[in-house]
Structure formats: C-alpha cells, structure tokens
Chain A
Amino acid sequence: MEPILEIKNLNYIYSVGTPFEHKALDNVSFSVQRGEFIGIIGHTGSGKSTLMQQLNGLLKPTSGSVVLDGKDIWSEKALTRQARFRVGLVFQYPEYQLFEETVYKDIAFGPKNMGLEEKEIDRRVREAAGFVGLTEAQLEVSPFDLSGGQKRRVAIAGVIAMEPEVLILDEPTAGLDPVGRAEILGNIQAYRQAKNATIMMVSHSMEDVARLTDRLLVMNGSKLAMDGTPAEVFCHAEELTAMGLNIPQVTQVFLCLKKLGLDVENVYTIDQAVSALKRIRGGERHA
C-alpha cells in the first residue's frame, strides 16, 4: 500500500551562518502507512519537536523531502498550505493558543481558514467537540472559563475539526492528572477509529506508548535511532537507558524475574504481564 507520509533523508539546521548554528535533524528517513499509530520517544532536545514541524510544512527542511500522499509538500505553494490541513499538529500545552470568545468559535478557526462553507464548518465543530467529549452547552462558554483539562480538549478539537488524515500530538497529556490523561488518550483513539486516521504521538510515558502504539520511532541526538514495534524497541533496554530513556516498569519487573531464573518472555504492557503470569501459574498446576 502507498504510504501516506514519506520522509526522505531529512536534514534541518537551525540559524545557519550564526554562532548559534545547530543541527536538529540528521538524515532522518521513514515512511508512515495509513491508519498507523506511531509513538515518538526521545530525550529532550533530540529533535522530536523539529521533526513534527517538518511534517506539516511549518519548517522547511535544509535538505531532503517530505512526501505527503505521493507529492512533495514543498514542490508547490498550494501543496504546502494543504499539508497544514491534511497533517494536523497539536503543540505542547495547546491550551495557550486559545483566543476566541467562545469554544465554538475557537474550534471553528481551523475549518474557517480552510475556506469551508458555514454548514460544513458547523458539522465539523460539533463532531470534533463530540470526539473530545465537550457538551453542547460548553460550546457557547468562553474557553477561559474552563478547567485546564477541558481547555486542552478544546485545543485538540480545534485541530481535529480540520479532519486531518495524519494527527500529530506533542505530549498531549503533559501536566494532566491521571483521569484527564486517560480521557485525552481515549479521545485520540476515538478519532483514529472513526476516520481511519494516522496518529503520531510524542510522549515521555513509556507505559502509554507501549499500550497504545503499533510502532515506535526513537530519536537520539538529531538522528532516528530505532524504528520498530514496541516489543522490538523495548528489547534494547540498555541502549534506551544510555539515551536517557526508559522502558515500561512492568518490562523492568519481568527482566528482573528472568534474571531470577523464572521462565517468562518479554512483556511491555500490564495485560501481557497478567496473561504471562496466568500461564506460569497454569503450568505449575499441571506439573
């Protein structure tokens, strides 16, 4: 199948020709299939945020190309603008970008910029609000009267309303309590299932990415260090630790069990751990 996004030999250098010159992306290549849920992990300053801003044409690569649905997004001006809508980008702490008088108007900002009809905008706003669990009544209040978690959901709805085929989120759960985090992650899943959308999520929670994603990209020192399923990536516990990253706690526990001589396979989610333990107990009963 034709990949939705293809990143080829991407390089990006900040502040070229000044003393502050800094290479943020170093020859990064990968491709993304429709409907994939990809997690991006990496230490602070490893180039994750820069990479995300390349994917929707906010930053122009120093060299290399970003191909969206078979076309280089920098080959034509109209394509660059289109990329902004087809690849939705939710920044870190997106609630700080809210500015309208009502939640409804703020969510409608993106669709309006797309030049859609009034009716279509209305449908999209209501649908996006539905995805993030906002009520009809909340659409008419000022976004500044909402709680932190609700503001965040309004901001995410603002991007979802553009109905992007690829939704990229930079730490969407940062600074939220466990309930708020679970809600936001649920909202993202709901959008993905309803639209068969591709999701790319930057996260520092290894538990979240292990549980939710199909594939992990590991960024380290401006390079793409690993690319594989969570199972493949979390096998390399030592390398990840050397990059300042971690593996899920349950994986750590099972690695210790293995060292103690227990015959268990590698697990990386709670569900897997439970079934692995059940299997062991079952085995003992039979013996």
Chain B
Amino acid sequence: MLKDITLGQYFPGHSPIHRMDPRTKLILLVVYILTLFLAQSWLSYGLMLLVLITVICISQIPFKAILRGMKPLVMILVFTGILNLFFTKEGPTILKIWKLTITLGGLTRAVMMMARILMLITGTFLLTYTTSPIALTDGLESLMGPLKKLHVPVHELSMMMCIALRFIPTLIEETDKIMSAQKARGADFETGSLIDRAKALVPILVPLFISAFRRADELATAMECRCYQGGEGRTKMKLLHYRRVDFSAFAAGAVMVAAVLLLRQMGL
C-alpha cells in the first residue's frame, strides 16, 4: 500500500535523458512549464504534448510508471475540471441541468486546464524519474550558486533537500514495519469513525517520530565524524559538465519556445 508511492522515485537507466546534465533538465523543465502557460491554442497544446511524448520515448520510462504516479493527483484534476466547467460563462450553452449551465467556453477551458496540469506534472515526473536525487541537488546547488553572494546558504539548503529525499523510502519502510507491529497487537486502522481512525494513528506516529529523530542524530554524528563542515572549500567527486546532448536539448527547447511564441503571434 505505502510502497506504491512513486512520487519522486528515480528509475535508473542509460538513455540520453538520463545522461543529460541535471542543470539542463532543471532549466528546460522551467522553460517547458513557462511555455505551457504561454500556449493558448489547441495547436500549441498539441505541439507541447508532442514534445513531452518524444522525451518520454527517448527516456525509455514505461508509460505505465508515469500513469501510476498520476493516481494520487486524480482528485486535483477532477476538481479543476469541474470548477472550470461550471464557472466559466463563455460562448453558447451546451447543456443546462437545474441551476448549472455548461457553456462551450467552459468545456474548452476545463479540458485545457486539465491538459495543462497533466503535462506540467508529467514533465516534473520525467525530471525525477530520470535524475537521481543526488544529481538533482547537485544541479540545484550549482544553479543557485550566484545566490551565495547574497548570503543565501545554498549548500546547506541543497544538502537538506538531498537528505530529505534520501530518507523518504527509509521512512516509508519504517512506517510499514511499525504498522505491522501494532497490527500484531490488534491495532485497527481501517474501521471506526474518523476520530477513532485519527486516534489509531498515535501508535504509529509516536514511534515514527522517535525513530526519525534518532536517525537524524545518528546521521549528524556520522557526518561530523567525517569532518563535514558545510560547503566552504568542499570539492566534488562528480563535476557537472555540459555535453553535446545538453546543447542539443537546449536547441530543441529554444525551437519549442519559438514555435509556441510564433503560434501565439499568429493568433492560433
């Protein structure tokens, strides 16, 4: 049950997308999301979808895995769809049920919003599926480098993120274990009123927090034992380099933005 959570999971592989510099992927993701908001017509949406599908194919991530990751987001999608469907009053009315009217404009708006959210999330998934957490934080640290001049603790922030990502699977496993142990003592998480169920979480949350603090303490000791002092003067084993694949990706990204802008200018 808990193990089905795939959000932020990394699928190891050797595709060109996997080999790309994490900075390239981060920048292009931001560009992609911004372009999504510039796109206005069905044609430009189609173009954005085409780009996305191409990237998925190159990355060799199974479509199934991406669909599985979408599951927890179905509620948000449905909610967005319904809101846009009923509260946009544009164009001719298609359907009228009691006090609710559905207009053509509303329908178009709802479908477009849902498509936008879907593509936005799929794009983000592609980043985390093809980039290991360590590469990702390395990339972020490097991209935020200029902020160091403004005394932003860039290295500390990226280290925190790296540790947080690293411990998600560990804590999930721990939760599973604690749940089994309490179930073995007759704890019941599935039946009863909402309040009963909330109360039933105490025997899980208390041990989980205690173990998280214990782990944090042990990790801090281990880091200090290895003379960790933060980012100052620290060198990296794996240096980030832009390669040919990155330049090709940037070029492709530029073409995509140009195409969408052009379509916008043409009013399509």
The B interface is mostly helix, strand or loop, or mixed, namely helix
Cβ contacts A143-154/B at 8 Å (1 or 0 each): 010000000000
Pairwise interchain contact B186-A84, C-beta atoms closer than 8 A: yes
Q: A91-B177, A97-B178 are in contact. Are A84 and B184 (CB under 8 A)?
A: yes
Most interface-central of B182, B183, B184, B186 (chain A CB within 10 A):
B184
Contacts of B202 in A (CB 8 A): 99
Contact among B3, B178, B183, B210 for A144, CB-based, below 8 A: B210
Interface stretch, picked from A106-114, A171-179, A197-205, A221-229, is A106-114
Q: Which residues of B contact A159 (CB under 8 A)?
A: 184-185
Counting chain A residues whose Cβ lies within 8 A of the other chain, the interface size class is 20 to 34
Of the candidates B180, B181, B185, the one having the most CB atoms from chain A within 10 angstroms of its own CB is: B185
Give the residues in chain B near A88, CB-CB below 8 Å: 184
B180 touches A58 (CB 8 A): yes
CB within 8 A of A110: which of B180, B185, B206? B185
Please determine whether A58 and B203 come into contact, CB atoms closer than 8 angstroms: no
**B207 near A99: Cβ-Cβ < 8 Å:** yes
Query: Chain A residues near B178 (CB, 8 Å)?
Result: 96-97
**Among A81, A144, A158, contact of B185 (Cβ-Cβ < 8 Å):** A158
A96 to B184, CA, bound (A): 14
Cβ–Cβ contact A89 & B184, under 8 A? yes
Q: A96-B207, A98-B207, A99-B203 are in contact. Are A15 and B184 (CB under 8 A)?
A: no
Residue of A nearest to B214 (CB): A96
Name the residue in A85, A90, A96, A158 with the highest tally of chain B Cβ atoms < 10 Å from its Cβ. A96
Asked whether B30 is an interface residue with its Cβ less than 8 Å from the other chain, the reply is: no
Residues of B near A266 (CB, < 8 A) are: none
- Could you tell me if B210 and A113 are in contact, using CB atoms closer than 8 angstroms? no
Alpha-carbon distance between A119 and B186 when the two chains are bound, in angstroms: 19
Q: Is the interface of A mostly helix, strand, loop or mixed?
A: helix
Contact A96–B211 (Cβ < 8 Å): yes
Which chain A residues in 221-274 approach chain B with CB under 8 Å? Answer: none
CB within 8 Å of B: which A87-123 residues: 88-91, 94, 96-99, 109-110, 113-114
B188 part of interface (Cβ distance < 8 Å): yes
A234–B178 Cα gap in the complex (Å)? 35
* A-contact bits for B184-223, CB 8 A (1 contact / 0 none): 1111100000000000001100110011000000000000
Q: Any chain B CB within 8 A of the CB of A54?
A: no
Residue of A with least CB distance to B200: A113
Whether the pair B184, A109 counts as a contact (CB closer than 8 A) is no
Residues of chain B with a CB closer than 8 A to A110's CB: 185-186
Q: How many angstroms between the C-alpha atoms of A91 and B186 in the bound complex?
A: 14
A273–chain B nearest beta-carbon distance, Å: 38
The residue in chain B whose Cβ has the minimal distance to the Cβ of A94 is: B181
Interfacial chain A residues near B184, Cβ < 8 Å? 56, 58, 84, 88-91, 159
Q: How far is the CA of A144 from the CA of B177 in the complex (A)?
A: 19
Partner of B186, one of A98, A99, A162: A162
- A82's nearest neighbour on chain B, judged by CB, is B186
24 pairs across A/B with beta carbons < 8 Å? A15-B3, A56-B184, A58-B180, A58-B183, A58-B184, A84-B183, A84-B185, A84-B186, A88-B184, A91-B177, A91-B184, A96-B177, A96-B181, A96-B210, A97-B178, A97-B181, A97-B185, A99-B202, A109-B185, A109-B186, A109-B203, A110-B185, A144-B210, A162-B185
12 other A-B residue contacts (CB within 8 Å) besides A91-B184, A97-B181, A114-B186: A58-B184, A84-B184, A90-B184, A91-B177, A96-B178, A96-B207, A97-B185, A109-B185, A109-B186, A110-B185, A113-B186, A162-B185
